Amino acid sequence: MERQKAEALSVIDQSRELLWNMSDQLWDHPEVGFREQFAAGLFCDTLSALGFEVQRNLADIPTAFSGSYGEGGPVVGFLGEFDALPGLSQAAGAFTKVPVQEEAPGHGCGHNLLGVGSLAAALAVKRYLEENHLPGTVKFFGCPAEEGGSGKGFMARSGVFDGVDVAFSWHPGEVNSVSTEGTMSNYQICYHFYGISSHAAMSPEKGRSALDALELMNMGVQFLREHVPTDTRIHYAITNTGGNAPGTVQPYAEALYLLRAVYPEQLIDLYERVNRIAKGAAMMTDTRVEIEFIKACSNVLINTELNHLMQRNLEEVPPAEFDQEDLELAKQYRTTIQPGWSYYDSLVDEIGDPQKKAELQARADDPIHQGVMPLAQERQGFVSSDVGDVSWNCPVAQINAATLPAGVPMHSWQMVAVGKTPLAKKGMLYAAKVMAASAIDALGDPELVQRAKEELRRRTKGQPYRSPIPAEIKPKIP
């Protein structure tokens, strides 16, 4: 690694105490989407103290913000998330499921690590620009409500990412790899049914059951599944049944639906068909339905130029040094999980080189996957992320970094429990260095940045970004 780049990355190790403590504070104060007041305050105060110019209330969202340093172009961005998941409260370091507080949130997706890792990368790039007196701007974006809120979608709709040349992000997980999986766009809608309450035995004829309407809607959607493209997905949860008294006709019921397709325009037809089913169910039961569009996000557009750049830095940056204590901890957590599918196995399955594949299969039972995975083939996945809306505005690349014992699933109590361990935070700093090194390379290679932009134009077929969120829809901010 070049001396200047290595010196810039050294600030991450020099700031380890600050960064580890910040991650722990976020873990200790888990907040769900659009409620991240503690997290936003901590990030903004830290960015300001580190010499970044802070801008708050982006897109009129109180917990969306940015920290900028430098002047002119190129402009490199880092995406930071910090929201927790509802109902995943868990004691740190425990080997059984032990909530800190029942029904409270917890960092089951590692966003306490994600946000701080991205901030650390921005800090290293700031040092690089500062020490070498170079033109360019580094921006850290504080992005709320990734889990179910599509904070970046609302930010993109407001032009927050305009002018960014390239952006980088990462995600905590069980492997060190470049993300080559495209995601799906989605819509989230709440269907509210209104009926008339009455005594179900004495005067059933006077009642109009909202719950009947909801059940009929769900039944209609089950029949719809046979007649939609195979690469679409329809999920739902009944969030209000109208009460628990069977002797009362329920006057209200609601369900939350999540519709997925590869491209946003594919969702329009699916959304209209589901809406017609809901309206038909209301007609059949003589009830009324209100359709509340909550949020949407676009699919992630892969950028191979930036992916190759990040792969090179994954392999060049010195890896996280896990000690025997980390390995023993990982072994203990592996005893708490059910054997089954893992992200590591899915990546190994795609490797074409028989020798390399055999080497990696032989290490499948390692307590921590410490090596770097080969760059996988681009493929279409079935999950969604609001990073997609950023990727339609500028070239984006993401990595995964090993912050978990091998095989531990995301969105699990085990992931929450591990979130404050040195194991997790060592992986966080490694991810920060890889992102920073990639951004520094991009700053010094205008031709690479141009190729990444040209690839984005090819993938979008030259079409400008159009937000899938209707203009009148506002974030559901408590």
Q: Can you give the CATH number for the domain in which 244 is found?
A: 3.30.70.360
The β-bridge relationship of strands 396-402 and 166-173 is: parallel
On whether both 239 and 305 belong to a single domain, the answer is no
Give CA–CA dist 142/44, Å, rounded.
9
Give CA–CA dist 212/191, Å, rounded.
13
- On the question of a cis peptide bond just before residue 470, with omega within 30 degrees of 0, the verdict is no
On whether both 7 and 145 belong to a single domain, the answer is yes
On whether both 338 and 406 belong to a single domain, the answer is yes
On whether both 81 and 175 belong to a single domain, the answer is yes
On whether both 415 and 375 belong to a single domain, the answer is yes
- Work out the burial of residue 244: count CB atoms within 10 Å of its CB; fewer than 13 is exposed, 13-18 middle, 19 or more buried: exposed
In a domain, 465, yes or no: no
Query: Comparing 354 with 16, which gets the higher pLDDT?
Result: 16
CB atoms within 10 A of CB 14: 12
In a domain, 61, yes or no: yes
Q: How many residues does the chain have?
A: 478
For the chain, report the end-to-end CA distance as a whole number of angstroms.
47
Helix axes 16-28, 422-443, angle to 10 degrees: 120
On whether both 396 and 283 belong to a single domain, the answer is no
- Check residue 234 and give its pLDDT: 97
Rounded average pLDDT over 205-210 = 97
Under the banding of pLDDT at 50, 70 and 90, the label for residue 427 is very high
- Check residue 265 and give its pLDDT: 86
Element (H, E) at 47: helix 37-49
Round the average pLDDT of the chain to a whole number and report it: 96
**pLDDT reading at 1 higher than 70:** no
**pLDDT reading at 323 higher than 80:** yes
On whether both 210 and 314 belong to a single domain, the answer is no
Q: What is the pLDDT of residues 104-113, one digit of tens each?
A: 999 999 999 9
Token reading at 211: 């719950």
Identify the DSSP state of 439. H
What is the pTM assigned to this prediction?
0.95
- 42 Cβ neighbours under 8 A, 6+ residues apart: 22, 25, 26
- Strand-by-strand arrangement of the 288-297 sheet: 233-240, 252-261, 185-194, 288-297
The total domain count for the chain is: 2
Give CA–CA dist 172/115, Å, rounded.
10
Give CA–CA dist 258/255, Å, rounded.
10
Give CA–CA dist 174/367, Å, rounded.
10
Q: What is the pLDDT of residues 65-97, one digit of tens each?
A: 999 999 999 999 999 999 999 999 999 999 999
Whether the CB-CB separation of 297 and 385 falls below 8 Å is answered with yes
On whether both 52 and 155 belong to a single domain, the answer is yes
Element (H, E) at 77: strand 75-81
Whether the CB-CB separation of 390 and 64 falls below 8 Å is answered with no
- Of 276, 297, 318, the residue that ends a domain is 297
Give CA–CA dist 474/472, Å, rounded.
6
* SS3 label, residue 275: helix
Where do we find the tokens 């080969």?
374
In a domain, 474, yes or no: no
**pLDDT reading at 478 higher than 80:** no
Q: What is the pLDDT of residues 221-252, one digit of tens each?
A: 999 999 999 999 999 999 999 999 999 999 99
On whether both 134 and 239 belong to a single domain, the answer is no
CB atoms within 10 A of CB 46: 20
Give CA–CA dist 271/217, Å, rounded.
13
Percent of the chain with pLDDT over 90: 94
In a domain, 45, yes or no: yes
Whether the CB-CB separation of 126 and 139 falls below 8 Å is answered with no
Rounded average pLDDT over 303-313 = 98
Element (H, E) at 350: none
Nearest CA among 380, 382, 385, 477 for reference residue 81: 385
- Of 268, 297, 326, the residue that ends a domain is 297
- Check residue 340 and give its pLDDT: 78
Whether the CB-CB separation of 105 and 87 falls below 8 Å is answered with yes
Where do we find the tokens 């009642």?
207
On whether both 274 and 222 belong to a single domain, the answer is yes
In a domain, 389, yes or no: yes
Q: Can you give the CATH number for the domain in which 373 is found?
A: 3.40.630.10
Nearest CA among 197, 131, 141, 181 for reference residue 164: 141
On whether both 174 and 216 belong to a single domain, the answer is no
In a domain, 401, yes or no: yes
* SS3 label, residue 254: strand
On whether both 84 and 225 belong to a single domain, the answer is no
CB atoms within 10 A of CB 281: 23
Helix axes 37-49, 16-28, angle to 10 degrees: 170
- Check residue 477 and give its pLDDT: 84
Q: What is the pLDDT of residues 33-54, one digit of tens each?
A: 999 999 999 999 999 999 999 9
In a domain, 365, yes or no: yes
The residue range of the domain holding 147 is: 3-182+299-459
Token reading at 78: 């880092």
In a domain, 172, yes or no: yes
Identify the DSSP state of 5. H
- Of 297, 329, 353, the residue that ends a domain is 297
